[in-house]
Structure 1
Amino acid sequence: MHKQLRRALVATAGLALWSTAAMAQDDGLRAGVAEDMPELMALYRDLHANPELSFQETETAAKLAARMRAL
């Protein structure tokens, strides 16, 4: 019985530590996305304001390639 209780306590403590670390990473991710959001929204609006036919997306491909190179 003590062995099962010990395992449950260790599992609970591990889960609590993992949850705290995950929440800290989530805050960093949110900050990064918030920082990039204005530029991403501008790209989104531009791409949707200037649609191209499937398999003929030359301008879209050029814009995305330029963004990827900038990374």
Structure 2
Amino acid sequence: TQPGKILRLRGKGLPEVNSYQRGDLLVAVNVYIPKNLTREEKAIFEKFAKSPSFTPNPDEGGSFFERMRGMFE
């Protein structure tokens, strides 16, 4: 997701007054991006960039139905 986005989790918030129902939980996504990095910090990020688990792969996901079909194949 992108910074500044607000996610709504239905039924995961506080209970309503005089009711058994629960409200919605709103989660604001904030991302801090540093402006200046030290040499050590830069080296750490470069090491992460080489790791396959930290490399984003947008082609891997596909739609919800494509992922479900892949689970059963």
Using structure 2 for the length normalisation, give the TM-score: 0.26
Larger Rg computed on CA atoms: 1
Greater percentage in helix:
1
Instruction: For CA contacts below 8 A with separation 6 or more, give which structure has more relative contact order.
Output: 2
Larger strand proportion of the pair: 2
